């Protein structure tokens, strides 16, 4: 069982240490939101979790079909920012960053991977 208080603490610490992160949504494999924090109030966390899980599932299938092994992460670059989706057997994490994060994407990947590991350990 994943500790929700631990998830909340890790999200708060990760966002505080990485100013380019505008939000983190953590859910289980069925898109049930475990914890979410975004700087934009009008974000529907449940809808975002559902989309992240669907994207992760389809991407994992694509990776398998192309004989590329297990999916590790998904990076989405859009006109106004970035979405980084990472998964574990227990959790899916979607990190949201603004367009100013381009230069720090590598560091954000590392921070989000560490956060996911901390949540599931």
Q: What is the DSSP string of the chain?
A: ---HHHHHHHHHHHHHH-TTEEEEEEE-TT--EEEEEESSTT--HHHHHHHHHHHHHHHHHHHHHTT--S--EEEEEETTEEEEEEE-SS-EEEEEEEGGGGGGHHHHHHHHHHHHHHHH-
Q: Give residue-wise pLDDT tens across range 84-117.
A: 999 887 899 999 999 999 999 999 999 999 999 9
Domain ranges of the chain: 22-120
Q: Give residue-wise pLDDT tens across range 37-87.
A: 998 878 999 999 999 999 999 999 999 999 999 888 999 999 999 999 998
User: For 8-21, what is the mean pLDDT?
Assistant: 96
pLDDT score recorded for residue 1: 66
pLDDT score recorded for residue 88: 81
22-120 CATH, one of 3.30.830.10, 3.40.190.150, 3.90.1150.10, 3.30.450.30: 3.30.450.30
Residue 2, number of CB atoms within 10 A of its CB: 14
């Amino acid at each position: 069982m994943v500790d929700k208080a631990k998830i909340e603490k890790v999200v708060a610490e990760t966002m505080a240490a990485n100013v380019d992160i505008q939000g983190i949504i953590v859910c289980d494999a069925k898109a049930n939101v475990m914890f979410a924090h975004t700087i934009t109030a009008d974000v529907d966390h449940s809808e975002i979790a559902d989309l992240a899980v669907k994207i992760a599932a389809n991407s994992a299938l694509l990776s398998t079909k192309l004989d590329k092994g297990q999916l590790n992460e998904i990076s989405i670059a859009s006109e106004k920012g970035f979405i980084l989706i990472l998964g574990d057997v227990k959790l899916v994490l979607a990190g949201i960053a603004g367009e100013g994060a381009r230069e720090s994407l590598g560091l954000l990947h590392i921070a989000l991977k560490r956060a996911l590991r901390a949540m599931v350990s």
